[in-house]
Amino acid sequence: MPLVQRGPGDKSDSRYCGVESGFEDDVAHLLASNLSAGFDFMVFPLIEPNYRPSLHKVDHGGDFVLPVSGSDLILSPSQWSSHVVGKISSWIDLDSVDEVLRLDSEITLKQEIAWASHLSLQACILPSPRGAHCGNYARCINQILQGLNNMQLWLRIPLEKSDPDVDDNTSENSGHLGGGRVIDAWEMWNTFRLLCEHHCQLSLALDIFRSSLPSANSLGRWFGEPVRAAIVHTNSFLTNAKGFPCLSKPHQKLMTGFFNHSVQIILSGKLQRKVPPVSSEHLGADHDGNCFEVMPSDPLRPYLNYIGCLYQKMGPLPEQERFELNYRDFLQSPLQPLMDNLEAQTYETFEKDTVKYSQYQRAVHKALLDRIPDEKASSVITVLMVVGAGRGPLVRASLQAAEETGRKLKVYAVEKNPNAVVTLHSLIKIEGWENLVTVVSSDMRCWDAPEKADILVSELLGSFGDNELSPECLDGAQRFLKPDGISIPSSYTSFIQPVTASRLYNDVRSHKDMQHFETAYVVKLHRVARLAPSQPVFTFVHPNNSTEKGNQRYKKMLFEIPSDTGSTLVHGFAGYFDATLYKDVHLGIEPSTATPNMFSWFAIFFPLRSPIYLPSGSPLGVHFWRCCGATKVWYEWCITAPTPSPIHNSNGRSYWVGL
């Protein structure tokens, strides 16, 4: 049964916990006992561990049969698929200097994966590379991946602290180098996946031991990688004051991170200590989060229930996260607001974001108080123009602000979408705003306003601030704003941040063309590693009183990755914005200042055609351009350090926003 449910919307794979077992002839009994103990699936070797092809040579026509764990008929197809993860033999060493062992390893690897594929298993766990040099192992896996069905291969990698002074020329032994020094686990993984061409069916299973964990920044790299499972060994558990198993605080934090990123937990090992006898089943947690439940008939049950209790402690997903679940790591093309008219469903989604409109209402509220003193509140009428009025949420927010402040308001609602204009007229009639609101069916850049506005309100911001052409639109509308008039928003700044995003990279790569790698996508970032704090890119101010009216921009940046992160791979950039609506009223999605509980905008993702390897301690040099032509606006971007990349989207050949 799954770990405790975290409330409505809990669809995470991480609520399923597995157990690693040894080879067993009676698979049906093994599965039944593990399922009855509360585990959801099991990991076990598919072939008898002592089998070696070189010891079982037979002539053609011989009757040799692979020593597998029973036939495929022992379990039903759905049981094999849902409850079994295959474990490829751990003795395999495809880079051994012993030719017999190397050949035996290659034959066995292919036999076992063929058998697992025959069983329709969802995944198989591959043994860890024996050291830094894994070229032949990766070659064999890459060959297999080319013809594999939908099964995933999870490369087992030990998550251990690494020695920064590792010498790759020393001898190798089970992931450790000469002198007891440990290869950086991420480097091991990165070498392997590069040799396998970033194949989307190659994922990770991380071994978690009791030894001290790497730094938080180093661990953070893994959340942008395709980690499917964390194998937690029973010897990594401590014992709490009551004598029950528990994990250290760093290990608990790591488990929470795995839960949040849909990483499944697999328990491995045996009962390390005898738990105190109790008269009945008990579940609880002390103030340190040490959870326990005792079922003497199953030695691993205390560990399972501890993991379940950690999962339960996270509580239900907030409403916003439940709303965003289906959008996680899903690439969407940005809107073309000037070329296309939005659909009713899109308007409805945006209008549900009460936080955004509350901030706009606050901004208009403050602007009205500053604009009109109390003694003139009943005699002066403020002219407010909503440009890009949509179906009217900003009109409503502005009128509510006027009511709160006791100020008189005359509103022009300017909207180019004729379908939305129909809804605007209906709204005004329903609300009785005929004497307050005038609907204008026109592009704001073409409209000839009958009078000047005191306040200009718009919601033209995109995920990157200016990427839906707010600067061009507001510059065009500025002609009907009074010289001392107020623009809401008054300014906005875009930000970028380098990220590891293996899943997003593979999704873009699946299109097999350059165009998709030179396109910016709107995406709810989830399985990404943010490698450094974001930096500002382009800023626009309204009204624009600069003598230079052009909206072209260029920015070069240098990102310093924290020294304890280690080496990493940059797949692209996450883009955000932060906007000042009026004075101290702001809204935005830049992580350090993001407006809480606002869901109108997801981040934007600028991919790289080829991921950039960033050695530990190396700065990342980045260049971004905002380019403007007669009919379009586009971005170009590149990396210049530590190694140069091509300039992406030159002349807007792949991605642009139409004027």
Q: How confident is the model at residue 58 (pLDDT cuts 50, 70, 90)?
A: low
CB 190 within 8 A of CB 173: no
pLDDT of 176 above 60: no
Annotated active-site residue 560? The verdict is: no
pLDDT at residue 6, as a whole number? 55
The three state secondary structure string of 75-139 is: CCHHHHHHHEEEECCCCCCCCCCCHHHHHHHHHHHHHHHHHHHHCCCCEEEECCCCCCCCHHHHH
Amino acid at the residue 584? D
Which residues partner with 486 through β-bridges? 455
CB 461 within 8 A of CB 577: yes
pLDDT of 167 above 50: no
Among 198-212, 285-299, 474-488, which is the least confidently predicted range? 285-299
| 3-class DSSP assignment, residue 540 | strand
What is the CB-side half-sphere exposure of residue 244 using CA atoms within 13 A? Answer: 24
Q: Is 16 annotated as a binding residue?
A: no
Q: Map out the domains of the chain with their CATH numbers.
A: 13-56+65-165+173-237+246-270 (3.20.20.150), 344-459 (3.40.50.150), 491-658 (2.70.160.11)
CB 14 within 8 A of CB 264: yes
Helix axes 418-431, 393-405, angle to 10 degrees: 30
Q: How confident is the model at residue 288 (pLDDT cuts 50, 70, 90)?
A: low
Mean pLDDT across the stretch 367-376? 97
pLDDT at residue 557, as a whole number? 98
Cα separation values, 596 from 318, 457, 496, 600, Å: 12, 22, 20, 11
pLDDT at residue 542, as a whole number? 96
Q: Is 443 annotated as a binding residue?
A: yes
Annotated active-site residue 468? The verdict is: yes
pLDDT at residue 510, as a whole number? 96
Q: Is 444 annotated as a binding residue?
A: yes
Please give the share of the chain, as a percent, with pLDDT higher than 70: 90
Lookup: tokens for 29: 């009994």
Q: Is 466 annotated as a binding residue?
A: no
Cβ density class 437-447: b for 16+ within 10 Å, e for less:
bebbbebbbeb
Cα separation values, 633 from 309, 347, 547, 583, 637, Å: 52, 24, 21, 29, 14
**Which residue among 112, 172, 293, 459 is the active-site one?**
459
Read off φ and ψ for residue 453, nearest 5 degrees: -100, 145
Lookup: tokens for 398: 């502005």
CA distance 303 to 267: 8
pLDDT at residue 169, as a whole number? 37
Among 49-58, 101-110, 165-174, 425-434, which is the least confidently predicted range? 165-174
Which residues partner with 639 through β-bridges? 622
Amino acid at the residue 355? V
pLDDT at residue 168, as a whole number? 40
- How does pLDDT run across 400-454, given as a tens digit for each residue? 999 999 999 999 999 999 999 999 999 999 999 999 999 999 999 889 999 999 9
Q: How confident is the model at residue 158 (pLDDT cuts 50, 70, 90)?
A: very high
CB 123 within 8 A of CB 152: yes
Please give the share of the chain, as a percent, with pLDDT higher than 90: 78
Sheet of 620-628: strands edge to edge? 553-559, 620-628, 632-641, 657-658
For tokens 């351009």, the residue is 625
**Which residue among 160, 187, 468, 518 is the active-site one?**
468
Beta strands in 466-513 (DSSP E): 481-488, 491-500
Cα separation values, 100 from 52, 91, 93, 96, 112, Å: 10, 13, 10, 9, 18
Average pLDDT, the chain: 90
pLDDT of 234 above 50: yes
pLDDT at residue 329, as a whole number? 96
Q: How confident is the model at residue 591 (pLDDT cuts 50, 70, 90)?
A: very high
Read off φ and ψ for residue 226, nearest 5 degrees: -80, 65
CA distance 151 to 502: 18
Cα separation values, 657 from 273, 462, 541, 597, Å: 64, 12, 20, 28
Nearest one of 306, 260, 266, 259 to 282, comparing CA atoms: 306
Q: Is 286 annotated as a binding residue?
A: no
User: Could you tell me the end-to-end alpha-carbon distance of the chain, in angstroms, rounded to an integer?
Assistant: 55
Q: Is 356 annotated as a binding residue?
A: yes
Lookup: tokens for 269: 């090992």
pLDDT of 191 above 90: yes
- How does pLDDT run across 67-94, given as a tens digit for each residue? 887 789 999 999 999 999 999 999 999 9
Cβ density class 407-432: b for 16+ within 10 Å, e for less:
bbbbbbbbbbbeebbebbeebbeeee
